[in-house]
Amino acid sequence: MMRNYEMEDGSWDMDREHADYEMAELEAAGNRLAALEKKGICTHGSCQERSADNVKYNADLAPLKVGEVLCTAGCGKVFANHDEWQDAHFAFVGVE
């Protein structure tokens, strides 16, 4: 998107230019997350571990084994344990 940021008085509209760059960065980040989700990679930040008795509070945990972790933000991906969930998230945000 090319836009002319020069205003009528000849000055440069920096606020508008910065806002456009910010929007472009946000759109790129959204596209990156969407591409990962399309590959089946969970990019969500909310999960719940199945314990011996918490299925009574969240029936979605019923199919899981105790210790497995469910993404509770929509994709429903199941991880073997909390460490695997955390590792998956650190991998896509680039944290070692």
Q: CA end-to-end span of the chain, whole Å?
A: 35
Give the total residue count for the chain: 96
**Residue 47 in contact with Zn ion, rule: CB under 5 A:** no
Angle at 78 between CA 38 and CA 91, to 5 degrees: 60
> Contact region for Zn ion (CB under 5 A) — 17-25, 28-36, 70-78, 80-88?
70-78
**Residue 91 in contact with Zn ion, rule: CB under 5 A:** no
The nearer residue to Zn ion, 20 or 48, going by C-beta atoms, is 48
> Contact region for Zn ion (CB under 5 A) — 4-12, 26-34, 69-77, 78-86?
69-77
Angle at 38 between CA 24 and CA 51, to 5 degrees: 115
- Binding residues for Zn ion, rule: CB under 5 A, are 42, 44, 71, 75, 77
